[in-house]
Amino acid sequence: MMGTPATRPHSSGVMKILHVIASVDPADGGPIEGIIQQNNAMTDSGVREIVTLDAPDAPFLKNFGMKIHPLGVHPYGGGRKTKWARFAYTPRLVAWLRENAKQYDIIVVNGLWNYASVGASRILPRLTAPYVVYPHGMLDPWFRRTYPWKHLLKQAFWLAFEGRLLRHAAAVLFTCEEEMILARGQFFGHSYREHVIGYGTGDAPDDADNQIAAFRAKLPELGDRRYLLFLSRIHPKKGCDLLIQAFAAAANDDPDLHLVIAGPDQTGWMSELQKLAETLNVASRIHWPGMLTGPAKWGAFRGAEAFILPSHQENFGIVVAEALASHTPVLITDKVNIWREVEASGAGLVGPDDQAGVTKLLRSFLELGEASRSRMRSAARACFLKNFDLNGSADKMLDILKHVTQNAA
């Protein structure tokens, strides 16, 4: 849905919220999914629009469900993205924000290190429209350790653009305290106002039988076999190589168990991973359905023995919360920032993000008896309802935005 910006609210009390984000491509994962989920949860209390760097003819914009202002001149989403395409420069963003920002009560800048945030940094600090920044885990120290030369470039961007954007923001929002603490000191030159806002996702929709059938129909070669599920972007940050190595090491512990690795391959890594699986003699037990959405996605969660995410860095992990909502135990590393809630609730197992750690994680789960797994499934659902149900986090998000706008008035 595309059109002119909304007018500023009057006596209705309904907030006009503008999200700034590089792309609304669903293959990009968490940030855009979070915006959609919050929009669904707060339909009576706010009007949300999105300005994006996507090209107007991007296929995923059709029937999107929210008003979109696509300002890009080249396709941002779909398939592999080059480094410059990921930055997604468009000359239209700054002018558009200058002209239209005043028509919204609050602006939310989602993510860093692309032209959505850089362009916002050039204009928002000079306007009277209040804004907040949601880094979505992009200040995590893992990036500094893994890509030290890229970090030096980011430091330059921080001094010139990103840090200035955060310094003038009414608040910088973090999904949990762990993310906020890890972000401290990663860049020098600008301070900012921290705020932990929490995060959540919508509940698993009913109709489990049809959802499971939809998933199985996507993978006829899987049949009715039992499986572990990885569902996320296929990216080195996600530890997919560790998962395949761990699965190979534990394969003989449960010869009938298969592994489903579902998600978009945005970096061209999948072929290398498939070769690794062949070398380790487990290729016939690993399935690659691509990106799953709708009933097939929920069916994949519901039918899995466990959900596994061996990430090296994850500020929240919506997919973890979705698995918990589906009564599915989760096996995660201690680099997934909600690992403390998972461990404390007994909703899954936690281990370090190395080959030995992920292998032990997998083997520990396979050693559990049926009674223990059943208790873990019940605990998974309880963990979701207590910590990650979207209704609570959406209300908190709205309260923060209202507080910011009242202070800016």
Q: What is the pLDDT of residue 26?
A: 85
Q: Are 125 and 86 in contact (CB under 8 A)?
A: no
Tokens of 249: 């090491």
Q: What is the pLDDT of residue 304?
A: 98
At residue 169, the 3 state secondary structure works out as coil
Tokens of 360: 């032990």
Place of tokens 């906020």: 180
Instruction: Please tell me the CATH superfamily of domain 15-201+390-408, with its number.
Output: Glycogen Phosphorylase B; (3.40.50.2000)
Place of tokens 């602006």: 107
Average pLDDT, 10 consecutive residues per value, the chain (409 residues): 51 79 85 82 76 92 91 58 63 95 95 94 94 93 89 94 96 90 92 87 92 97 96 95 97 95 93 98 97 96 98 90 97 94 97 97 96 97 91 77 77
| Domain extent listing, the chain | 15-201+390-408, 208-388
User: What length does the chain have?
Assistant: 409
CA–CA gap between residue 376 and residue 385 (Å, rounded): 14
Q: What is the pLDDT of residue 74?
A: 58
* Distance set, CA 306 to CA 73, 294, 362 (Å): 42, 19, 10
pTM higher than the cut 0.75: yes
Q: Are 302 and 328 in contact (CB under 8 A)?
A: yes
Provide the CATH number for the domain formed by 208-388 in this structure: 3.40.50.2000
Q: Which three-class secondary structure string do you get for 100-153? A: HHHHCCEEEEECCCCHHHHHHHHHHHHCCCCEEEECCCCCCHHHHHHCHHHHHH
Contacts of 348 (CB under 8 A, 6+ apart): 306, 307, 329, 330, 331, 332, 342, 376, 380
Q: What is the pLDDT of residue 177?
A: 86
Q: What is the pLDDT of residue 287?
A: 98
Q: What is the pLDDT of residue 175?
A: 86
Q: What is the pLDDT of residue 95?
A: 96
Tokens of 361: 């994680």
15-201+390-408 and 208-388, same CATH topology: yes
At residue 172, the 3 state secondary structure works out as strand
Q: What is the pLDDT of residue 44?
A: 63
Q: What is the pLDDT of residue 9?
A: 47
Tokens of 293: 């959405």
Q: Are 258 and 222 in contact (CB under 8 A)?
A: yes
Q: What is the pLDDT of residue 292?
A: 96
CA–CA gap between residue 67 and residue 105 (Å, rounded): 16
Place of tokens 């394969």: 251
Q: Are 263 and 232 in contact (CB under 8 A)?
A: yes
